[in-house]
Amino acid sequence: MKRIIAIVLPVLVLVVLVGGGFVLTSIFKPPVERADEQPRGLSVFAEAAERTALDLKVNVQGEVRPKRQIVVAPQISGRVSYVSPDFVDGGFIRQGQVLVRLEAADYELGVTRARSGVASAEQALARERAEAELAQQDIEDLGIEDASPLARREPQLAEAEANLNSAKAQLADVQLALNRTAITAPFSGRVRERSADLGQFVSPGQALGTIFATDVVEVSLPLSDEELGRTGLPLAFAETEEQPGPQVVFSTNVAGERREWIGRVKRTSAALNPQTRLINVIAELEDPYGAGADDGVPMAPGLFVDAQIDGRRIEDVVRIPRSALRGVDRVFIGDGPNGKLEIRTVDVIYSTDEGAYVSSGVEDGEYAIVSPIQAAFDGMSIQVVERMPDGSLEPRTPRKTATDEETEDENAAQVAGETEGASQ
């Protein structure tokens, strides 16, 4: 018995000591402190939506071409005796300037012969008029009242007059041919190419070169039906003083630098292209080598240019960042004060690299989220951080403390209790 007591008594003492220590530790331990800040939601970047007016733009491309371009060709045949030093590829020419001259000796001889023929016809007409007067005098002296026209020499007089007119026509013809030995420029411009030189024999209609006017150049810009609607132009448009065409900004790289020129839409083409189903809008730039040039750099024919056409103006739209669009028509909106995410469907009117413009679904001042979010859902907890225009970041979701959580729980419980009491 004593042996059992000796074994059990130490065990009981140990149990009492351990239990007493646990009780004392539980009584005197410090209270558990709750963290003031609760776990935060996913941090996202957002930008504020802005209500504004939208000036639509249409961006297309086209090739510059001269409005007037002709092939220089002679109207007569002959050997080239003179070529203007300006009549070379790239040369500047003036209106009325002689570009090519043909040998004129043959045509000068023709003029001399024609003048001789005119003199002979004039002499024959004068003689015939004198004889007609004598015949008329003889008829009167003889008292003949019913003399025939032949007796009055009327047919002979008419023939002499006709011969004179024919001789004068021949003179005018050879004189015209002589004048055509000098081939002049019908307008001021530049030479695109030359295909004739001294000593070459040319025939009527043979190409001697190509020149174009430098007063106006034009660009044909193909537009789809949707793009034509954005410009606000009718299908059959021609610029007038009452209805001027929209402005067009042409741009391209020239000698490694970006150049711009300002033109206007003048008209639309007569019909749609049957292959592409596009309609061409014709834009023009006046004086491309002078006042219309960009710091002395002309918009020369042959350049391939980008063209931005001013379109319609739409009032009262909301601009959001282009990166805020999710797919075609969805946007994530951040409720900054409450730290919640909303998924909305918007009506996108137009979008560029500068932003997307919507007519509904987003209000002015709301935060459009630009950060990528996986598995997003309505009501998702987030922390909204606004990206300012200067690049700085501003938090828009306040941090919630334990006291805020308890207050929200109490308010929720109170509302639930009132609802339950009202239902009873």
Please check the confidence at residue 97 and state whether its pLDDT lies above 90.
Answer: yes
Q: Residue written as tokens 């530049």?
A: 190
E strand spans, 153-199: 182-184, 189-194
d(CA 10, CA 16): 10
| Cα 237 from Cα 223, distance rounded (Å) | 14
- The CATH code for residues 44-49+321-403 is 2.40.420.20
Retrieve residue 281's tokens.
Answer: 């809008």
Contact 280, 267 (CB under 8 A): no
pLDDT at site 423: 43
pLDDT of residue 42: 85
pLDDT in tens, 241-256: 899 999 999 999 999 9
Cα–Cα distance measured from residue 271 to residue 236, given in angstroms and rounded to the nearest whole number: 9
Q: What's the mean pLDDT in 41-60?
A: 89
Class of domain 72-211: mainly beta
- The pLDDT value given to residue 218: 96
What percent of the chain clears pLDDT 90, i.e. is strictly above it? Answer: 47
pLDDT value of position 128: 84
Q: Which CATH architecture has domain 215-314?
A: Beta Barrel (2.40)
Q: Is the pLDDT of residue 31 over 70?
A: no
Question: Do the Cβ atoms of 341 and 332 come closer than 8 Å?
Answer: yes
pLDDT of 26 higher than 50: yes
For the chain, the average pLDDT equals 84
- Quick: pLDDT tens for 281-321: 999 999 999 999 999 999 999 999 999 999 988 888 999 99
pLDDT in tens, 118-141: 999 889 888 888 887 887 777 777
Comparing 37-41, 45-49, 95-99, 383-387, which segment has the lowest mean pLDDT?
37-41
List the one residue out of 72, 104, 75, 67 whose CA is nearest residue 87: 72
pLDDT category at 408 given cuts 50, 70, 90 is very low
Is residue 186 predicted with pLDDT exceeding 50? yes
Percent of the chain with pLDDT over 70: 84
In the chain, what are the domain boundaries?
Answer: 44-49+321-403, 72-211, 215-314
